[in-house]
Amino acid sequence: MGKNSIIDNLFYDNKKGSLLYKGTRYLLIRPETIIGFLKAVEESLKDEAGEKFYLGGFRGGFFSTKRYKEIHNFSDKEIIEFMMKMGAEIGWGKFSLMRYEPKENILEVSVENSPFAIFYGRSDKGVCHLIRGVISGMATALFGKDCQAEEISCIAKGDNRCVFVVRKNC
Ligand SMILES: [Zn+2]
């Protein structure tokens, strides 16, 4: 088992039934629960369902980037590395920064072993809306403007990993 800086620092309050990492509440949830919810929402909202999940991911990514940058006093590069590591440590897959060009607001992240894609099954589109939202929220916090990432490769489409791209000047 690898070392895990998030799990090792989780505070469990048994009286309240809460898990906290540096004062921020987290919860453990099975991928089936999230994908079950996504598929149920897709039945009525179609593609718009993914956008709703995206917005949830965006919120988490934006606030995590701001908060952890501040409490750790990280540079932009350090907070990206922290978020990549944290993604893996909370079980969202293996995150790698592929490209980061702050002057041009370009960001590219790859994720291996995304639980969202694996539990979704086959699709003709990317299905990792929560990760796409997190990357977008992180880019928005870093670049100071509204940035939307696109998932250009996804395991659900048959690619060997998922790739998220924030394009030039987003
Ligand atoms: Zn994916």
CA 36 – ligand 1 centroid, Å? 16
2 within a domain of the structure (yes/no): no
For 64: left if phi > 0, alpha if psi spans -120 to 50, otherwise beta; the answer is alpha
127 within a domain of the structure (yes/no): yes
CA 73 – ligand 1 centroid, Å? 31
130 within a domain of the structure (yes/no): yes
118 within a domain of the structure (yes/no): yes
32-66 pLDDT, tens digit each: 999 999 999 999 999 999 999 999 999 999 999 99
CA 15 – ligand 1 centroid, Å? 37
Q: Residue 26: pLDDT band by 50, 70, 90 thresholds?
A: very high
Which has the closest alpha carbon to 125: 147, 94, 152, 160?
Answer: 152
What pLDDT is attached to residue 39?
A: 97
CA 68 – ligand 1 centroid, Å? 25
55-107 pLDDT, tens digit each: 999 999 999 999 999 999 999 999 999 999 999 999 999 999 999 999 999 99
41 within a domain of the structure (yes/no): yes
Which has the closest alpha carbon to 96: 4, 5, 161, 7?
Answer: 161
147-166 pLDDT, tens digit each: 999 999 999 999 999 999 99
Number of compact structural domains in the chain = 1
CA 8 – ligand 1 centroid, Å? 28
Average pLDDT over residues 119-137: 98
CA 165 – ligand 1 centroid, Å? 12
What CATH number is given to the structural domain containing 84? 3.30.1380.20
CA 120 – ligand 1 centroid, Å? 9
CA 77 – ligand 1 centroid, Å? 24
CA 102 – ligand 1 centroid, Å? 24
Q: How do beta strands 10-13 and 162-166 pair? A: unpaired
1 within a domain of the structure (yes/no): no
Range of the domain at 73: 7-166
Say which amino acid occupies 36.
G
Q: Residue 169: pLDDT band by 50, 70, 90 thresholds?
A: confident
Alpha helices in the chain (DSSP H): 31-45, 48-72, 76-89, 115-120, 129-143
CA 149 – ligand 1 centroid, Å? 12
pTM listed for this prediction: 0.95
Which has the closest alpha carbon to 135: 120, 147, 152?
Answer: 147
32 within a domain of the structure (yes/no): yes
CA 125 – ligand 1 centroid, Å? 9
99 within a domain of the structure (yes/no): yes
C-alpha distances in Å from residue 155, one per residue of 8, 92, 97, 126, 163: 30, 13, 18, 8, 9
| pLDDT value at 17 more than 80 | yes
Contact of 34 with 116, CB cutoff 8 Å? yes
